[in-house]
Structure 1
Amino acid sequence: MSSTELPSAPATANVLPKVATVRVAEGERLRSVGLPGITLTVRSRPPAREGLPPALYVHGLGGSSQNWSALMEQLEGDVDCEAVDLPGFGDSPPPDDGDYSITAHARAVIRYLDASGRGPVHLFGNSLGGAVTTRVAAVRPDLVRTLTLVSPALPEIRVQRTAVPTALLAVPGVTALFTRFTRGWTAEQRVRGVMHLCYGDPGRVTPEGFRNAVEEMERRQQLPYFWDAMTRSARGLVNAYTLGGQHALWRQAERVLAPTLLIYGGRDQLVGYRMCRRAARTFRDSRLLSLPDAGHVAMMEYPEVVARACRELLAEAEAGEPVAVGRGADGAGVRSAAAGEDEAVTENAGS
């Protein structure tokens, strides 16, 4: 494994950097890691003290390691944080073989963990990254200490109407049609659309956060492989939904041994909130945090609330004893919290 420190644009930059650089928040570092067939960009924060357990964060479709910056800052005193840009996303170039399947993304995560020797890690995944990390935890339990899934993209029989356009990216020809149709859209328009789709309340995004997202959108649109990575990854996710037998994602979720924290948003327009119950029943050692006001990226909307739940999971894992949360009829720990509240209200998982 080869590793190279990457140049990065300062957080206060007013001029858009060249394509080769990305925004890095204060206290973060980027490095490029060469592995067989792939090169990954890894974002990290120095731990608050030596000896903290390692954690790895995996983003969703169209996202990047930046999606985890807020939560990484919250947890820097609890874990040694690293977030990876999947191949073709963020600042990671496309994979050599052009494979963007869920299995290929999971293989990239496994290769990095094997090469770095950081496992077992506290593994985090959002959306597509949730499907990827579920597969990693199922096939390589030795690499995963705990698993935290934020709106994981696991198969749904009835897909929400608001999620259909994203799924359509997997259909041949649709991406080319969409890019022609939206050719005149500005980066600001695209970012507003993404935020309305992914946030429960887009108004929670600060003006600075919006400007940073626009700069990142402008940077990504300059990449020649931007739409190809999006399209092929969407297709890989849809294909994963059709797999049966031991490769089926829900079957693999049943095989996960690691203590698992499930986080779902009541205003999620991409992953059905109703799926939280099935997930809580399927993952054998699960606890569920329900955030009625959150959308698809709860770790970006409510990082403090998510961090509290993560700390409980970490404490449980270190102590080897279950956290005292409510248990439903199926045995799954469940909490429902208003995003602004300090105390969670216990629900019954069987209701």
Structure 2
Amino acid sequence: MVRRIDVIGAGGVHLAAWEFADPPKNAEHEGAPGVLLLHGLMGRASHWAATARWLSERHRAVALDQRGHGQSDKPAEGAYTREAYVDDAEAALEQLGLAPAVLVGHAMGALTAWQLAAKRPDLVSGLVICDMRASPLGAASQREWEDWFRSWPLPFAALADVRKWFGEDDPWVERPNPARGAFYAEVMAESKDGWRPVFEPEQMLRSRQTWVHDAHWEELAQVRCPALVVRGLDGELGRAEAQEMVRVLPHGRYAEVADAGHLVHYDQPEAWRAAIGPFLQDVLAHPGSEKTG
């Protein structure tokens, strides 16, 4: 069973939070440490469904559609600052009664997670950072994304075309990846003329603009809770930078997943769970403790 819970984020933006577990099971874990899952740019809460259901066997796990994504509000320009995303996650933790919680973030969601952990250490007991860099990506990266969005053959006639284009035909990707096709099929909705993304590409570019030019090492160093940095061996976060992030984190640990790209939890779900499982078990079993590994 999937249950939607409405959250009011920064500036009154309505956000959709999702529990991927039966209410009786959640009731059994009332008062247990919670987990908030934050998707990456262009993602949505449903991308965490398998992870959330796995976590919900022992803990209350909630995934958030961040602003501009999924079924959450998509406000006009000016509403996609780093502060807004962080404030939304803060509001979600407080309104859902999850804190102190473990934050599990992918890409942009991971950045939001560690920025919130630095800002409100009282709300965060642990942190999983999946394939997000602390170094700036630069202006060239933003231009590449603009060109990539323009290359999308919208609208797609069918979901099968979405899966094929993103999984096999996307000229910006070096090798075919069926999991990538499935990932993007999940963020499409049917319209009168075909299938289009549930988000506005321009809003995604504005969201991205707020971090590609900045470094985030200082905020990383301010994270006081245990933190796990996870990278796919073929992802966007290189090993050297990942290990430097672990060094900068006061209580950092490291894990990597073989045969996985940027979409680690989608490419290799079993290996992803094996990589984060021991860390989560430790942190969730000992909330508030500081452990190094």
Q: Same fold (TM over 0.5)?
A: yes
Corresponding letter in the other structure for 1:214: A
- Per the alignment, residue 29 of structure 2 pairs with 50
| 2:185 is the alignment partner of 1:214 | yes
**1-structure distance, mates of 2:186, 2:265:** 21
Distance 1:195 1:259, change over 3 A: farther
The answer to whether the aligner puts 1:103 opposite 2:70 as a matched pair is no
Structure 2 CA distance for aligned equivalents of residues 79 and 287 of structure 1: 22
Using a 3 Å threshold, how does the CA distance of structure 1 residues 98 and 291 change in structure 2: closer, same or farther?
same
**CA RMSD, 1 decimal:** 3.3
SS in 2 for 1:82: strand
From 231, 252, 275, the counterpart of 1:286 = 252
Pair 84,215 (structure 1): closer, same or farther in 2 beyond 3 Å: closer
| Contact 1:53–1:79 (CA under 8 A) maintained in structure 2 | yes
Cα offsets for 1:87-137 (capped at 9, x unmatched): 010111124663212222111111222233321111110001111111000
Q: In the superposition, relative to structure 1, how do residues 50 and 292 fare at CA in structure 2: closer, same or farther (>3 Å)?
A: closer
Aligned to 2:216: 249
Aligned partners of 1:280 and 1:288 also within 8 Å: yes
Secondary structure in 2 matching 1:218: strand
Tell me, yes or no, if structure 1 residue 306 matches structure 2 residue 272. Answer: yes
Instruction: Give the alignment of 1:31-46 within 5 angstroms.
Output: 31-35=5-9, 36-46=11-21
Contact 1:151/1:271 (8 A) holds in 2: yes
Residue in structure 1 matched with residue 233 of structure 2 by the alignment:
266
Q: Distance in 1 between matches of 2:173 and 2:33?
A: 30
Of 242, 246, 263, the match for 1:276: 242
* 2-structure distance, mates of 1:266, 1:275: 13
Note if contact 1:122-1:144 (Cα within 8 Å) is conserved in structure 2: yes
Unpaired segments ≥5 residues, structure 2: none
- Superposed, which structure 2 residues align to 1:309-324 within 5 Å? 309-317=275-283, 318-319=285-286, 320=289, 322=291
Q: Mark the CA change 1:88 to 1:199 in structure 2 (over 3 Å): closer, same or farther.
A: farther
TM-score (norm 2): 0.80
Q: Helix, strand or coil for the counterpart of 1:106?
A: helix
Separation in structure 2 between the aligned mates of residue 199 and residue 291 of structure 1, nearest angstrom: 19
User: Cα 1:249–1:200, aligned 2, differ >3 Å: closer, same or farther?
Assistant: farther
Instruction: Report the Cα distance in structure 2 between the residues aligned to 1:164 and 1:74, rounded to whole angstroms.
Output: 39
Per-residue CA deviation, residues 279-309 of structure 1 (Å, 9 max, x unaligned), is 1111111111112311112222222333234
Preserved CA contact (<8 Å) 1:42 1:85: yes
The aligned counterpart of 2:113 is 133
CA distance in 2: counterparts of 1:77 and 1:234, whole angstroms: 34
Q: Offset at 1:203? A: 4.3
Shift in CA distance, 94/181, structure 1 to aligned 2, threshold 3 Å: closer
2:150 to 179, 182, 195: 179
Alpha carbons 2:188, 2:197 under 8 Å: kept: no
Report the Cα distance in structure 1 between the residues aligned to 2:200 and 2:8, rounded to whole angstroms.
20
Aligned residues of 1:29 and 1:45 also touching (Cα < 8 A): yes
Contact 1:260 1:283 in 2 (8 A): yes
> CA offsets, 1:31-79, max 9 Å, x none?
3323442110111123463333211000101111112111112222132
User: For the structure 1 residues 70 and 101, does the alpha-carbon distance in structure 2 shift closer, same or farther, using more than 3 Å as the test?
Assistant: same
Change (3 A) 1:225 1:260: closer
| Higher Cα radius of gyration | 1
Question: C-alpha distance in 1, partners of 2:152/2:57?
Answer: 46
* Aligned residue identity for 1:50: H
% identical equivalent positions: 23
C-alpha contact (below 8 Å) 2:229/2:242 kept by paired residues: yes
How far does the alpha carbon of each residue in 1:201-249 deviate from its partner, in whole angstroms, 9 at most, with x for none? 72467xxx83x8536423496578612221211212224x2xxxxxx51
Structure 1 window deviating more from structure 2 (83-92 vs 298-307): it is 298-307
Q: Is the 8 A contact 2:131 2:231 kept in 1?
A: yes
1:237 is matched with which residue: 183, 187, 211?
211
Residues 184 and 145 of structure 1: CA distance in aligned 2, closer, same or farther (over 3 Å): closer
